[in-house]
Structure 1
Amino acid sequence: MMAVAGCCLLTANALSAEPFPAKPIRLVVPFGAGGITDNIARLVGQEWSGALGQTVLIENRPGAGGLIAAQAAAKAAPDGYTVFMGTVGTQIVNPLIYPAGKLPYSPDSQFTPLGMVSKSPFMLAVAASVPARDLNEFLAYARSHPDRLDYGSAGSASAPHMSMELFKLLSGTKINHVPYKSGAEAVNAAIGGHVAAVIDAVPVVMPQVKAGKLRALAIANGTRSSAAPTVPTSQEAGLPSFETSSWNALYVPAGTPPAVVDRLATTLRTTLARPGLRSRLAAQGSEALAGTQQEYAATMAAEKKKWAAVVEAAKIKAE
């Protein structure tokens, strides 16, 4: 009996000492396949697989502004084999727009951050029918037509919706919101002249600008985008405080062993520093962010402050 018990103990110890990772890792993405968040997850996941020595499997769980995916990831086993790609919506906006106690997960207490992944600065563009050649002309036009212009977004409380409300707050303009089911639908609405303006990540908007169907006014960032080098930044265009983007960060469920967290975070930073991956991200208008935990914390604090002001001013609530 003692020999059997000793054998079992040795087996358990051997299993507990098994190097991590010993099997594929699931990367949960809160949006469907083909979107910018999914594209970034697949680019990073492919490179990260090599650094980890295991396959990173993408699992798309769209719906409810990222709530479905976030809730599932938060409740997953804290063993390092489930990683969640959080966004400004899942980590910052949802807690601001849901009544206290109604959000079925907690970004702060149920997740441990591995680090930032990337950001994709937003581009503001207008329909070809809008008589504005640059941002200053659009501001003058919007101010002279209060509540008479519309803009399209990827849906209520989406990053484009929040971003345009930030634009309105900073510029003192009154432009009406028209929500659509996706960023692509909002862009098509602007192309068709159903809305005057649209804002979204560069990869979503730039193809239609190149085709001459939309007119780009500014990149909402401090530096120009390599994917749209001729489009001025918001600072160059005359609205320096207007900076907004779609960003991603990776998380594991709270309670994941520190050694596992360290392994994942270290290999993530190594992966994001690779020139090949950074070039592929830049080609689609995204920037790799291989920051430290301190930089992550500073980014989150600034994002919470910025978007809390927007939610309050625009009276945005979960629908």
Structure 2
Amino acid sequence: MTARFCAAVMAFSLAVAAYAGDAHAAYPEQPIKIVVPFTPGGATDTVARLLANKLSGRLGQSVIVENRPGASTVIGADVVARAQPDGYTLLLSGSTTYTVLPALNPSLPYDPVRSFEHVAIVALAPVVLLAQNGLAATTVQEAAALAKQQSSKGGLMYGTFGPGSAPHLAGEMFAEAAGAKMVPVPYKGSAQLITAMIGGEVSLGVDTVSSAAPQVRAGKVRALAVTGEHRVPQMPDVPTFEEAGIPQVSFVGWYALAAPAHTPAPVIDTLNRAVAQIMQDPQVKKAVSDLALEPVFLPGQAFKDRIQKEVQTFSAVAKRAEIKLE
């Protein structure tokens, strides 16, 4: 009797497992929503819509983008972190959500590692150090020397997009590498930053490559160095910080797709395979490159490893520079 009971239990367990496997194998059976924690029209939104279109074709279900901006991406990220972990609500956001905010604000309603299943990083976004045309520095090494020299006079001023932004962190990395005291000046965006540099309000600025490249080509400002492992196509003559001898300036933004924690592994595997194939599509690569981003495919573990490494790095930068976000 005991043997029969055990056999029955085993048969039932196998049946349940088979049913669950079939259910996951059938994913997706309904439309998928990708939450973007920014307003429509920006680079994050554009990448999300590109992925949504291609995922729809590969998965056989409609994939829609829902913009949930607010609180520096916290609102949208929290919506996904609290969503049903079934693969039908996803998050496409940048490193601001996954590493910058967690490094600067210990009171976030989500954890970048524990609150999500990590599908893939799909694009890298380097930043560029800019110099005012009249600045007596034509290379990043000369700018570093000038910044160090100006430390005793209050510090060289450089433009950022506000406390804790990518330009702020990259600027502080540069200041530390130069052994200099520098003064960050916040602006609402690239247009204001470039105008301030042209007008002589700040000597240096840190901006995204996509926004700065046209201004550099127009001769309004000069580009000294870009972050990342290699030069960018939009500025082929501008060296990387590593080439220029200042590898400590390593901030590179990125965009990645995630799902709520506890989303079943077969679902994540399905998404991972689909995204891997999409990011090999020449049309997709060109579309991402046209945004002045680098198309990549870095799967879940690499995504998670990057989070852990960058949170540690940015926390240390923020502590030294006394950057706090509440």
Output the TM-score relative to the length of structure 2: 0.86
Alignment of 1:161-172 (within 5 A): 161-172=168-179
3-state secondary structure, aligned to 1:42: helix
CA deviations 1:242-288 (Å, max 9, x no partner) are 22211111111112222211111110111112222122222332112
- Residues in 2 aligned to 1:276 and 1:157: alpha-carbon distance in whole angstroms: 34
Q: 1:106 aligns with which of 108, 111, 115?
A: 111
Find the counterpart in structure 2 of residue 8 from structure 1.
none
Counterpart Cα distance in 2 of 1:150 and 1:74: 38
Match of residue 290 from structure 2: 283
Tell me if 1:118 matches 2:130: no
- 3-state SS, counterpart of residue 76 of structure 1: coil
Structure 2 CA distance for partners of 1:35 and 1:190, relative to 1, 3 Å: farther
Task: Indicate conservation of the 8 Å contact 1:28/1:85, yes or no.
Answer: yes
Q: Distance in 1 between matches of 2:293 and 2:137?
A: 27
Read off the aligned partner of 1:291 and give its amino acid letter: L
Q: Which residue of 1 aligns with 2:133?
A: 128
Distance 2:192 2:54 in 1: 31
* Paired position in structure 1 for 2:310: 303
Does the aligned pair in 1 maintain the 2:25–2:266 contact within 8 Å?
no
Runs (4 or more) in structure 1 with deviation over 4 Å come to 13-18
The CA distance in 1 between the partners of 2:24 and 2:234, in whole Å, is 46
Deviation at 1:289, TM superposition (A): 2.1
**Separation in 2, partners of 1:126, 1:61:** 35
Verify the 8 A CA contact 2:147 2:175 in the aligned structure 1.
no
**Distance change (3 Å), C-alpha of 1:208 and 1:143:** same
Number of the residue aligned with 2:240: 233
3-state DSSP of counterpart to 2:124: strand
When the two structures are superposed, what TM-score results if normalisation uses the length of structure 1? Answer: 0.87
Q: Identify the range of structure 1 (274-283 vs 207-216) with the bigger mean alpha-carbon deviation.
A: 274-283
Q: Tell me the residue number matched to 2:30.
A: 23
One-letter amino acid matched to 1:276: Q
Greater mean alpha carbon deviation, residues 257-266 or residues 31-40: 31-40
Letter in 1 for 2:148: R
Structure-2 separation of matches of 1:35 and 1:155: 18
Mapped pair 1:34 → 2:46: no
- Matched residue SS, 1:234: coil
Residue of structure 2 in register with 1:176 after alignment: 183
Question: How many correspondences in the alignment?
Answer: 305
Q: For the residues of structure 2 that align with 1:190 and 1:43, how far apart are their CA atoms?
A: 34
CA deviations 1:200-235 (Å, max 9, x no partner) are 221011111111111000111221111221111112
Shift of 1:292: 3.1
Q: Tell me, in whole angstroms, the C-alpha distance in 1 between the residues paired with 2:24 and 2:80.
A: 25
Q: Which amino acid counterpart does residue 149 of structure 2 have in structure 1? A: S
> 1:40 Cα deviation (Å)?
2.3
Instruction: Find the structure with the greater CA-based Rg.
Output: 2
Other structure's SS at 2:150 match = coil
Aligned residue number for residue 85 of structure 2: 78
The alpha-carbon distance between structure 1 residues 18 and 118, as it changes in their structure 2 partners (threshold 3 A), is: closer
Residue 195 of structure 1: which of 188, 194, 202 is its match?
A: 202
Instruction: Answer whether contact 1:201 1:245 (CA < 8 A) is retained.
Output: no
**Residue equivalent to 2:272:** 265
Aligned-partner residue type, residue 124 of structure 1: L
> What corresponds to 1:213 in structure 2?
220
* Structure-1 separation of matches of 2:194 and 2:253: 16
Where does structure 2 lack aligned partners over 5 or more consecutive residues? 1-18
3-state secondary structure, aligned to 1:151: strand
CA distance in 2, matches of 1:193, 1:34: 30
Partner of 2:325: 318
**Contact 2:120-2:256 at 8 Å conserved across structures:** yes
SS of 2:298 mapped into structure 1: coil
2:142 is the alignment partner of 1:137: yes
Deviations 1:10-38 (A, max 9, x none): xxx89957932233322112222232322
Alignment RMSD:
2.2
2:112 partner letter: P
* Residues 154 and 185 in structure 1, CA contact (< 8 A), matched pair in contact too: no
The amino acid across from 1:153 in the alignment is T
CA distance in 2, matches of 1:171, 1:50: 49
| Conserved? CA contact 1:155–1:182, under 8 Å | no
